[in-house]
A and B are shown apart, each in its own frame.
Chain A
Amino acid sequence: MIKPKSNREIFLNGIFGENTIFRMAISLCPAIAVTNALKNGVALGVSVVFVQTMVNLTVSAIRKFIHPKIRIPIFMLIIAGYVTIIDMVMATYARAVYKEIGLYIQIIVAFASIFARAEVFASKNRVVPAFMDGLGMGIGFLFAMIVISFFRELLGKGELWGFSIAGGKPLLIMILPAGGFLTVGILMAFFNWIDIRFFGGKGASGAA
């Protein structure tokens, strides 16, 4: 049996080792869609932290009762339940942000990362490690969202969190769809470069 990891390691793994966006390259859809402004990125990131943590907790708690054959629909239902909660909370308390990213909040249901952690980790582990894993993964995602949206809003609109910084629009392309792809591509390459340069990694990131 493999030596079980400490909770701390599990937590950090989600943020660095297996960062959803930059290392695993899953759940990219919203990473590009909502990151044209820092506020939107943070809103989605926080929602994901909540959903991922709660899903991991729930799946882990009831893992002995789930028949393997029907696990996919069951996981989906659990995820959808929590997403509905966050969807309604957002719609009530964060009206302005919800108008822009509402569709993407609902689509958290279909996040590969949340599903994958439920399948790979939570369904095989006890409640506390599963909780730490969910929290780490969620915060890793939030971190990625902040980095991407920081660059895109700053370069695209010359603003941060809605406040004007640069006094102009330096690079309009950054808030266009194309800019999102370019930003993520360059950031990914940057993280790969760090990995190769300082940690002796192979460079090829992600499952794909």
Chain B
Amino acid sequence: MEIEFGKLLELIIAASLINNFVFTRFLGLCIFFGVSRKMETAVGMSITFTTVMVVSAALSWVVYKKIMIPLDITFLKIIIFIGIVAAFVQSADTIMKKVSPALYYKLGVYLALITTNCIILAVPLINAGEGYNLFESIAFGLGSGLGFALALVIMASIREKLELADVPLPFRGLPIAFITAGLIALAFTGFSGLITL
């Protein structure tokens, strides 16, 4: 299997900026709004998330290509992918609890809920749908993770400032966060057409 670095780079840029999961595909919003209130948690989440994304993209590619296609059970892909991700997250959860309890108590709830993050399932499904090879799958996973991290960090830095702003009562909390996200999404449409795949 030859590796085309140019294509991989394009995939990473496309997945993180042009087709940013949060702003153009609207996936992973629950976590996006949940942990973007503080910069610290946003960064922790981004790191965990990108790691989980890359590993699960690779794992599910191997399972899809080496087990599911030979056995002709691709119709079970939803169940199998979510199973892989859930198993991996559960183990990551256990390891993190032992290695870094402080971070675990901050992100514990969301780590458990990473399984219910749409992006984590969307990446293997899109990989399978597009027929990417192993390296492309990993690149796509990495790009998606980075894109999510970028969105999370931008959002967290804005929301930290928003805490101090005088927002009308009904808009406090989530509504204003949504409107902020809408404006960022508008800015992200500027990336469309940056490169064509």
Q: Which residues of A contact B (CB under 8 A)?
A: 25-30, 32-33, 72-73, 76-77, 79-81, 83-84, 87-88, 103, 106-107, 109-112, 115-116, 173, 176-182, 184-186, 188-190, 192-193, 196, 203-208
Bound-state Cα–Cα, A207 to B116, Å: 16
B166 to chain A, nearest CB (A): 14
Q: Which residues of B contact A (CB under 8 A)?
A: 23-30, 33-34, 37, 75-76, 78-79, 82-83, 86-87, 90, 112-113, 115-118, 120-122, 125-126, 168-179, 181-183, 185-186, 188-189
Contacts of B177 in A (CB 8 A): 185, 208
Beyond A28-B29, A185-B175, whether A176 also contacts B75 by CB under 8 A is no
Tell me if B115 and A72 are in contact (CB < 8 A).
yes
Contacts of B117 in A (CB 8 A): 110
Closest to B171 in A: A189
Closest to A185 in B: B178
16 extra interface residue pairs, beta carbon distance < 8 Å, beyond A73-B83, A110-B120, A186-B179: A28-B26, A30-B118, A84-B75, A103-B126, A106-B78, A110-B121, A112-B30, A115-B116, A176-B186, A177-B23, A178-B182, A178-B185, A181-B182, A181-B185, A185-B181, A192-B175
A sample of 27 cross-chain residue pairs with beta-carbon separation below 8 angstroms, ordered by A number, consists of A25-B174, A26-B30, A28-B30, A28-B33, A29-B29, A73-B83, A77-B83, A84-B78, A103-B122, A106-B121, A112-B30, A177-B24, A178-B186, A179-B182, A181-B181, A181-B182, A181-B185, A182-B178, A185-B171, A185-B176, A185-B177, A188-B175, A188-B178, A189-B170, A190-B170, A192-B171, A203-B172
Bound-state Cα–Cα, A171 to B169, Å: 27
Tell me if A208 and B33 are in contact (CB < 8 A).
yes
Bound-state Cα–Cα, A112 to B28, Å: 10
